[in-house]
Structure 1
Amino acid sequence: MTGSPRAEPRASDIRRWRRYLADEQLEAAVYRDLAQRRTGEEREILLALAEAEARHEQHWRLLLGDDIGRTLRGATRTRILGFLARRFGSVFVLALAQRAESRSPYETDSDATAAMAADERIHEEVVRGLATRGRMRLSGTFRAAVFGANDGLVSNLALVIGISASGVANHVVLLTGIAGLLAGALSMGAGEYVSVRSQRELLESSTPDPDARSAVADLDVDANELALVYRARGMSEEEADTHAAEVLRTNDLAVVADPSDHLEVDEHESVGTGLSAALSSFCFFASGAIIPVLPYIFGLTGFPALIVAAVLVGLALLGTGAVVGILSGASPLKRGLRQLGIGYGAALVTYVLGLLFGTTGV
């Protein structure tokens, strides 16, 4: 249900309605652009969202009437979102769209209908669901990238600052930083290799044995121990008995080898090989750990080198935190500042310890 045009709307109302109209047009275009990069169900969902935004657009057109004037450009963040959707169409754009839907002003605007406000709330959940699919697909790689780079940034900054504060020569700080980079990267790579290999081995041990199918024909129908298999996989006793009886009746061997629908396995955690995970972790850690060493590589010494290293690492931490915020649908600034605070906190502790060690001659 749309609202009725006002007899004499105020100039401020007209400006606000025009802004809403422009935003709805841009948001509909964003969903259409995203739909062009999707297929199947995701494409249909995005096109349905675009149609919903078009209904909202029509509401503001009716309110404006002859005062519609020229179309405004819309909010800056919506224009940026549209640019990203046309160029990339990735999960990052969906995460930004989720955050944009959560900021809808319709709930507090008397000129918007209750249905429009409810639509925006539901749109947020729809986009959240689409973004979650993408987050699940990249979560393993994303986790390795963020954790690896962040560990490299924080640990090597803390190491370099702590050693530098103790008063040692510049070449010692440089060598220590490079040693910390190599040691940390190798440790991360080895740890990720063991982690992924162990995860894959655990999943393999949980996969049903295809050779068990050969035993079906010789099972005792009265004992029906096949039901225990399905109960162990998560079925209730009644469901297991019914399913096992059907298997024994039809002698359908393929049913036995079919993995249980009740066994939930987080498949994205097991994607990839141990070697690829190790190489990725090595590179991600090294890319972060090299940053606090750069000032010393280029010849800076003493306090200026510490300041430059801290600034470079701070910018990188803000970047990784912002990426985490975007993907999680949260505030990029808050997540960036959180990363910055944690990193600088660790560096400050080692700096103070370095000063103490240097003073006491330890």
Structure 2
Amino acid sequence: MSAPAQPTARDRRRWSQYLVDERAEARVYRELAARKDGEEREILTALADAEGRHEAHWLRLLGGEPERLPRPHTGTVLLGWMARRFGSIFVLALAQNAEARSPYDDEPFATATMAADEKIHHEVVRGLAARGRRRLSGTFRAAVFGANDGLVSNLALVMGIGATGVAPQFVLFSGIAGLLAGALSMGAGEFVSVRSQRELLAATEPNDYADASLPHLDLDANELALVYRTRGMSEDEALARARLVVTAAQEGTAPHGAPLDPPSDHELVGGAWNAAISSFLFFASGAIIPVLPWIFGLSGFAAVATALVLVGIALMATGAMVGLLSGGPPLRRALRQLAIGFGAAAVTYVLGWIFGVSVG
């Protein structure tokens, strides 16, 4: 890209905006780095330093610090606020989206290096966010599914029961019964599901059963190479790895890494008790929301309308959260959750109304 010969006042205002945004982004990464240690802290600090180099570029073009500067974009300010108060996974998920919207591709006064930096930053932030998502995956999946199942199923239940024209006390009793039954079912189901998955992984993972036999294997013809071939290595790679391991075992030294054990996938699955408890609690917290109007004495249309508003807010909140953590558009995810939940409630309401009319 080629820059115009003479910048305009509009160009300078745009540079000033870039300047404050780069400073704000650098502060976000430094705030996150202060909450980390080890490799993640080094990566976040390096990102902040890179934003500092971009800041210096705009300062040079402006000829020094301007007397008046604009405010950073609202999204960057929000990131900084969240970085100081919440866990990094939410901030990194938002930062991932922000880095994907870099303006430097079409900015004539930005260097090609700066545009390339922003693309690399997006991948770096995505990688850091992915680490957090992996740590959250098991328990978070159970929590989100539990909350949404509680919201949708109990809303559908009370809408269907309420549409039949029964007394408000019966609607309340049905909602509480649906909450307890659903929460217990979800908790038990998650426990069995996660425990079974972990047991399946444990059964498929190698152990140290054969390690004691390694020194006695024939260096030139040994079945250890077959072990590595079952893990996806080519024949030559498997044989080279097997020779390395057998030689090390015969010499009494240990090669880098365990001889047979690959990385475990248990971290991705999560813990059975964590998943079960999260699923129970979040289902119950979701399922109680549609029942609140009847708990506080409302009935009829007022209770139905209040339940729809409360559940709609909760559905949009959980949908937006999933969108943030998955790197997708939060509003689209929120509206999708709302449509699914209200669609299910509408079907059961109509069925309940038809049933109530036929009985009456």
TM-score, scaled to structure 1:
0.89
Please state how far the C-alpha of 1:220 moved relative to its aligned partner: 6.7
2:356 corresponds to which residue? 358
Deviations 1:185-231 (A, max 9, x none): 11111111111111121122123243333445665778633433333
Distance 1:248 1:49 in 2: 43
Could you list the per-position Cα deviations for residues 142-182 of structure 1 after superposition, in whole angstroms to 9, with x for gaps in the alignment?
A: 11111110010001001110111111111111111111111
Residue in 2 that maps onto 1:287: 285
Task: Please give the alpha-carbon distance, in whole angstroms, between the structure 2 residues aligned to 1:225 and 1:118.
Answer: 47
Give yes or no for the alignment of 1:63 onto 2:61.
yes
Q: 1:160 aligns with which of 128, 151, 158?
A: 158
Deviation (angstroms), 1:63? 2.4
Preserved contact between residue 96 and residue 329 of structure 1 (Cα < 8 Å): yes
Corresponding residue number in structure 2 for 1:30: 28
Deviation of 1:265 (Å)? 4.8
RMSD of aligned residue pairs (Cα, Å): 2.7
Over 3 Å counting, the alpha-carbon distance change for 1:217 and 1:316 in structure 2 is same
Amino acid in structure 1 at the alignment position of 2:160: G
* Structure 2 gap ranges (5+): none
Pairwise CA distance, 1:302: 0.9
Query: Is 2:51 the partner of 1:53?
Result: yes
- Taking a change above 3 Å as real, the CA distance of residues 226 and 54 of structure 1, as seen in their structure-2 partners, is closer
Whichever residue aligns with residue 280 of structure 1, its letter is S
Identity %: 64
CA positional deviation for 1:113: 3.0
- Which secondary structure state, in structure 2, belongs to the residue aligned with residue 160 of structure 1? helix
Letter paired with 1:41: E
What SS does structure 2 have at the residue aligned with 1:128?
Answer: helix
Contact 1:2 1:113 in 2 (8 A): no
Bigger Cα displacement from structure 2, 61-70 vs 21-30: 61-70
Q: Cα offset for 1:353?
A: 1.0
Counterparts of 2:331 and 2:40, CA distance in 1: 30
Count the aligned residue pairs.
357
Alpha-carbon distance in 2 for matches of 1:38, 1:2: 40
Structure 1 residue runs of 5 or longer lacking an equivalent are none
Matched, 1:258 2:258: yes
The whole-number CA distance in structure 2 between the counterparts of 1:210 and 1:200 is 19
Question: 1:169 aligned to 167, 170, 173, which one?
Answer: 167
Displacement of 1:27 in angstroms is 0.9
User: In 2, distance between residues paired with 1:21 and 1:139?
Assistant: 37
Task: Mark the CA change 1:268 to 1:133 in structure 2 (over 3 Å): closer, same or farther.
Answer: same
CA contact (8 A) 1:102 1:121 kept: yes
Cα deviation, residue 300, structure 1 = 0.6
Q: Distance in 2 between matches of 1:211 and 1:260?
A: 10
Shift in Å, 1:131? 0.9
Aligned mates of 2:220, 2:268 — CA distance in 1: 41
Distance 1:108 1:313, change over 3 A: same
1:52-79 C-alpha deviation (Å, 9 max, x unpaired): 2122212222222268222332112111
Q: 1:24 deviation in Å?
A: 1.1
Moved more, 59-68 or 172-181: 59-68
1:107 counterpart residue number: 105
Letter in 1 for 2:315: L
* Contact residue 95 and residue 328 of structure 1 kept, 8 A: yes
The code of the aligned residue for 1:114 comes to A
Aligned counterpart for 2:14 among listed residues 12, 16, 40: 16
Q: Does the 8 Å contact 2:147/2:286 carry over to 1? A: yes
Task: Quote how far apart the aligned CAs of 1:111 are.
Answer: 3.1
Identify the residue that residue 276 of structure 2 maps to in structure 1.
278
- For residue 314 of structure 1, the aligned residue among 305, 312, 315 is 312
Structure 1 contact 4–62 (Cα < 8 Å) conserved: no
Contact kept? 1:322, 1:332, Cα under 8 Å: yes
CA shift digits 1:9-65 (9 cap, x unpaired): 32x333222222111111111111111122222222222222221222122222222
Query: Would the aligned equivalents of 1:207 and 1:259 in 2 still touch at CA under 8 Å?
Result: no
Is the CA contact 1:213–1:253 (under 8 Å) kept in the aligned structure 2? no
Amino acid at match of 1:269: L
Distance 1:39 1:17 in 2: 34
Letter in 2 for 1:329: G
Letter of the 1:266 partner, please give it.
D
Change (3 A) 1:179 1:254: farther
Q: Distance in 2 between matches of 1:208 and 1:190?
A: 29
State the distance in 2 between where 1:55 and 1:139 align.
35
Q: CA deviation at 1:293?
A: 0.6
